Amino acid sequence: MRIRVGSRDSLLAVRQAELLMEAVRTACPEAVLELVTLKTTGDKILDRTLDQIGGKGLFVKELDEALRDGRADVTVHSCKDLPMEIPEDLPLAAFSKREDPRDALVLPEGASGIDFTRPIGCASLRRGMQVKALYPQCTVAPVRGNVLTRLKKLEEGQFSALILAAAGLKRLGLEGRIARLFTPEEMLPAAGQGVLAAQVRAGMDTDYLRCFHDGEAGACVTAERAFVRALDGGCSSPVAAFAVVEGTKMTLTGMNAVGRKDTLSGGVDQAEALGLALAERLR
């Protein structure tokens, strides 16, 4: 069995694709895996914010095309970077176990605190809104590029600090750069943060992805994305959601576009309904 795994060409994206490939190799030693990397439109345009250039779909367009024309059999994405609407012909087939879902504060090497004379770099309105609540004296500026590009901009003095996903830093072995981890109560994570998604062509045999799939993470992502989708959230909105599972119970916390938060609990098997119900309460 030959499986072509599609990925963006950044170091983090490749590492994420390798996590899927490692799981499949362990479960299916006979599989022949090939990594196919592509540079997406979102990776090429770095001088404007996502809402100015077309949203998160620009990070998946080329990968979707590779799936449709057979250059890739499965593509790997950070769930938080996926558009809320998924094409029917390209379903999400599996979700990884969740890595640390929290956001992290990263300071320049050698710095002991935030220099508030310079902005904090944030890649989303969600982070920007919440970091301003935590540090009222700060200014926030958009930052684009992959993790290493953002860290380079930080060291060049363009920013006093960055807010990055802890999951990405840990997957790159850069957890030592984390100066502070924000609790979900302090900074509600993006829907799907810390989870990887495997996307395929409809009708394909996806049995080989069972070894990669984590049911608890899948249920959490389902609830979180249902909430954000119901409130028309996206890259131009701070809408966020984070679910936690204990046994058969799921607790979902959501934040609407004006920063109001609420929490609702229900059965894990009712994940999508829970997301929709919480969205209705915060509408």
Whole-Å CA distances, 150 to 40, 106, 160: 18, 10, 12
Helix, coil or strand: residue 260? coil
Please report, to the nearest 10 degrees, the dihedral formed by the alpha carbons of residues 153, 121, 64, 256 taken in order.
180
Catalytic residue among 43, 81, 100, 103: 81
> Per the structure block, which two tokens stand in for 203?
């009708």
Distance CA 252, CA 245 (A): 9
For 211, counting Cβ atoms within 10 Å of its Cβ (0-12 exposed, 13-18 middle, 19+ buried), the class is middle
Rg (CA), the chain: 18
> Per the structure block, which two tokens stand in for 278?
């919480």
The answer to whether residue 81 is catalytic is yes
> Per the structure block, which two tokens stand in for 102?
């929290």
Residue identified by tokens 């593509």 is 75
Neighbour count for residue 34 (Cβ, 10 Å)? 12
For 184, counting Cβ atoms within 10 Å of its Cβ (0-12 exposed, 13-18 middle, 19+ buried), the class is middle
The residues that are catalytic are 81
